[in-house]
Structure 1
Amino acid sequence: MAASHPIPINASFEKEFDSNFNSTTSLYQDGKSEKFGIDNPALEKDLEGGQAQKPENSKTKEGEKSEGKDEKSFLRQYGGMTLTLAASLLFSLVILLVKMLQPYGFSADDSSFWRYAGITLPSIPILMYFECCRGTSKNEKKNGSVFDTVWPLNKNDNWKNVVGLLARGILGGSSVILRYFAVEHMTIGDASVISYSSPVLVTILAHFFLGEKTGLVPILTAVFTLCGVVVITQPPMLTGKEGFDHDTLIGTGFAVGSLVCSACMTIITRKIREVQFALMLVVFGIIGMIQAFVISRFSNGFTWPTETYDSMMLFGVAGLSFLGQMSIILALKFEQAGPVSLIRTCDVVFGFILQFIVLGVKPNTWSAIGGSVVFAGVVITALRKWISTLPKESGCRRFFCWILF
């Protein structure tokens, strides 16, 4: 093998290299600027621009992240309350349509059947979408089946979710049917006041069965709301009459039954909140349809729509019921059961307003007083929620600190 020899370096090349190296290093040795150690104004300007752009871009990204966090925080804090308020308006419109359908021969159970049909039919394709199209995106992790929370029964206590779904369907169906029967004997506003005073029970049941924290103000607010219900029933001790009005007493009985069923349903919904909401809607709708059809069939016979006007109103009952039910289920995923149930009492306010605008029914003095009391309870609940989200050093929180007790 030939011996290796060092590669000879051309003298002119070596001289040129040393010259270039010395001229380059002289930029940093002669006339250094205070910032970058160079005396080239153009280069210094470029470096200043590059240095200024970096924090600006970083600040922009940080601002975008901050805005995203604020948006998520807002949805987490107020999303449940907003959805609950929307559900109250939608359900108030449904009750108004039910009242308007009575002259056309549609009883409470007939209207209930179409309400549950409207909940069930749109929920089936939604359930199929979540089941069949999950994990189709490349960047999306494949989710489990929507039935994982109910099947198999012996996995992770799924049988409890199944029992909860069935109980929720039965109680929810009973609550709606009883509420519609109450509307047949009293005004929309009075029936709504009693039916949606469920916070009295929900606050107590949520504390014992869900472990939700409570305080002095929520309890007093619940009692305050109950007082409004008592005023709405117009007892003889307030009106000076010899006894209760017969229709008012029957309607009150139906409304109280609806109140109990609604409170229990709210607790169960919160308990099984890990169940997919579309599955909740399907089970709830099917059970409600069966209940309403059986009651209607064996009481006065089932009534089918025959005219365009009543068909359109039944379609409104179905569609608005679906939107309202979906809103309340999603609300309970964001918010605790007590505040949701209290805000649902806004149905009372919407009921009085709608019956006055559409039906021309004016509330009497006692109805107005009772409705105002219930509305005050809703305002206190919303204010308490907002104050609890403020920082501890906030002046507004310090001023309203009593409402957090």
Structure 2
Amino acid sequence: MSPAEVGRDDERYDSIPAQNAWRTAWESNKGAALILISEAFGSSSDAIVRFLQQGGHGMHPFQVIFARMITTLLLSGLYMWWTKVPDPFGHPSVRHWLALRAVFGFSGLFCLYYSVHYLPLAEATVFRFLVPIVTAWACSVFLGQTFTRKELIAGLIALVGVVMIAHPSSIFGSTDDIKTTDIEKVAPAQRIFAIFTSVLGVFGAAGAYTTIRVIGNRAHALVSVSYFAMLGTVGSTVALLVIPGIGFKMPHGAREWVLLSLLGIFGFGLQFLLTAGLQLDRSSKATSMMYTQVLFALSFDWAIWGVLPGGWSLIGGAIVIASTLWSALQKTQPNAGQISKAKEADEESALLGEQQDGVAEVVRRGSVSA
């Protein structure tokens, strides 16, 4: 063998450990990476919603919901058909829970889309991190699960953060909290009402995830998404046809058509990638990735609208994120055996804990009423 051939063999052998190292790093962080991408999709969807609602002729939240939900419904149905998901309409024993999950989810989504018209994306995003704590409380009230003292403390601290974000003038005096270069002027009353709507949306989302806990592994994750998308499509259509003064508005130009299409695709991507990521990794590392959505939202706020939250909003947002992240990291992480048995994951399972098979068993025995 010539010296040149020996050199080539050495280079090939040196490249194998490097390739193995990259592969090992990817396999170790694949779940977290998918969650990170899903959060980018989620923030992109929110930015599109805000842009469409604040555009030249402004689309109503119901029309934006219709555009997202009908795309999500079609993509979910196609994926379930392609992968031959069993019971695509859900087992009869859980269909009423799936319908209730859809009602709660629809109300939470409408409140979110309404609030982003008057609030910067970063502020509207922060309120979502209240969902795990409210869900834990709801499960303790309606399902008899334990609501720990740490969760209660985290919830009270987060409530202080919410008050700081709202910074009502009766408490904080007159402030000009939003740092902006080009943004539609929002009246203080509109801002307060938008924050109130965001809080209502938190309870809607918490109701959805509480029912998801009841459903547990008795329905595929995308069956739950399909019910949600179906109700969102039908409900928004009825609202647009029945409520006076709304109606459908045809998109203006190719840009709005493209944005509406991307809204549905990103919405489905958020659901799919987050579910896949949480199936692969339910550790605190994966949980932390969910909080990167605030960074994406801040980036969109500045890049598109020239908006940065002021002092009170930044402090309040940091308090909310820190308290909920602290609460999430206190939860006992599942062992490898538990993870291998978990077939499905919903988009908040990293924050809410493992799917509650025990809750599903209680429901089957009739101890929990609808």
Q: Which amino acid aligns with 2:70?
A: A
Structure with the bigger RCO (C-alpha within 8 Å, sep 6+) is: 2
Match of 2:315 among 361, 369, 372: 369
Which residue of the partner structure matches residue 268 of structure 1? 211
The match for 1:88 is: 39
The amino acid that maps onto 1:362 is L
Deviation for aligned residue 1:83: 5.6
Is 2:78 aligned against 1:125? Answer: yes
Residue by residue over 1:154-189, the C-alpha shift from the partner in whole angstroms, topping out at 9 and shown as x without a partner, is xxxx2xx10111111121111111111111222222
Question: Does the 8 A contact of 1:193 with 1:371 survive in 2?
Answer: yes
Counterpart AA for 1:227 = V
Paired amino acid for 1:164: W
Whether 2:103 is the aligned partner of 1:150: answer: no
Residue 259 (str. 1) matches residue 202 (str. 2) = yes
Give yes or no for contact 1:199–1:342 (8 Å, CA) kept in 2.
no
- Higher gyration radius (CA): 1
Which residue does the alignment assign to 2:55?
Answer: 103
Partner residue in 1 for 2:135: 202
Alignment match, 1:296: 240
Aligned residue identity for 1:273:
G
CA distance in 1: counterparts of 2:146 and 2:33, whole angstroms = 22
Give the letter aligned to residue 125 of structure 1: L
Change beyond 3 A, Cα 1:361–1:148: closer
Q: Which moved more, 1:366-375 or 1:211-220?
A: 211-220
Using the alignment, how far apart are the partners of 1:311 and 1:304 within structure 2?
Answer: 9
What letter matches 2:62 in structure 1?
A: D
Name the CA shift for 1:294/1:236 in 2 (closer, same or farther; >3 Å).
same
CA RMSD after TM alignment: 3.7
Query: Which one is further off, 197-206 or 226-235?
Result: 197-206
Question: Which whole-Å CA distance do the structure 1 matches of 2:287 and 2:110 have between them?
Answer: 19
Contact 1:112–1:289 (CA<8 Å) still a contact in 2? yes
Map of 1:2-401 to 2, 5 A cutoff?
79=31, 85-101=36-52, 102-104=54-56, 105-131=58-84, 146-147=86-87, 150-151=90-91, 153=92, 158=93, 161-209=94-142, 213-241=146-174, 245-274=188-217, 275-297=219-241, 298=243, 299-330=245-276, 346-381=292-327, 383-384=329-330
Contact map agreement 2:115 2:124 (CA 8 A) in 1: yes
Distance of aligned partners of 1:223 and 1:90 in 2 relative to their CA distance in 1, 3 Å threshold: farther
Give 1:364's aligned amino acid: G
Q: Distance in 2 between matches of 1:382 and 1:97?
A: 29
Distance 1:286 1:307, change over 3 A: same
Letter in 2 for 1:361: V
CA displacement at 1:308 relative to structure 2: 0.9
Cα gap change, 1:209/1:221 in structure 2, threshold over 3 Å: closer, same or farther? same
Q: How far apart, CA to CA, are the structure 1 residues paired with 2:251 and 2:34? A: 32
Identity %: 20
Whole-Å separation in 2 of the counterparts to 1:327 and 1:270:
20
Counterparts in 2 of 1:82 and 1:71: CA distance versus 1, 3 Å: closer
Q: CA separation in 1, counterparts of 2:213 and 2:287? A: 11
In structure 2, the partner of 1:43 is none
Q: Matched residues in 1 for 2:161 and 2:277: separation? A: 25
**1:264 to 1:181, Cα distance in 2 relative to 1, 3 A:** same
- Taking the aligned partners of 1:177 and 1:237, their CA distance within structure 2 comes to 29
**Whole-angstrom distance in 2 between the partners of 1:301 and 1:197:** 33
**2:123 and 2:235 mapped to 1: Cα distance?**
25
Deviations 1:275-329 (A, max 9, x none): 1123222222111111122222324111222411111111111111001122444
Q: Deviations 1:186-240 (Å, cap 9, x if unpaired)? A: 2222222234422331121233445655533333223222221111111224421
Aligned residues: 298
| TM-score normalised over the length of structure 1 | 0.63
Contact 2:129 2:320 in 1 (8 A): no
The 2-side partners of 1:210 and 1:334 are apart by 27
**Letter of the aligned partner of 1:231 in structure 2?**
M
Q: Which whole-Å CA distance do the structure 1 matches of 2:205 and 2:288 have between them?
A: 12
Taking the aligned partners of 2:90 and 2:331, their CA distance within structure 1 comes to 33
Amino acid in the other structure paired with 2:310? N
User: Is the alpha carbon distance of 1:327 and 1:261 closer, same or farther for their aligned partners in structure 2, counting shifts above 3 Å?
Assistant: farther
* Alpha-carbon distance in structure 2 between the residues aligned to 1:200 and 1:349: 21
**What does the per-residue CA deviation read over 1:91-122, in whole Å, with 9 as the maximum and x for residues that have no partner?**
22111111111214222111111111221111
| Structure 1 residues 306 and 285: alpha-carbon distance in aligned structure 2, compared to 1, 3 A threshold | same
Whether the 8 Å contact between 1:342 and 1:377 is mirrored in structure 2 is no
AA at the equivalent of 2:192: L
Contiguous gaps of at least 5 residues in structure 1 = 1-66, 132-144, 390-405
Letter in 2 for 1:295: A
**Distance of aligned partners of 1:349 and 1:237 in 2 relative to their CA distance in 1, 3 Å threshold:** farther
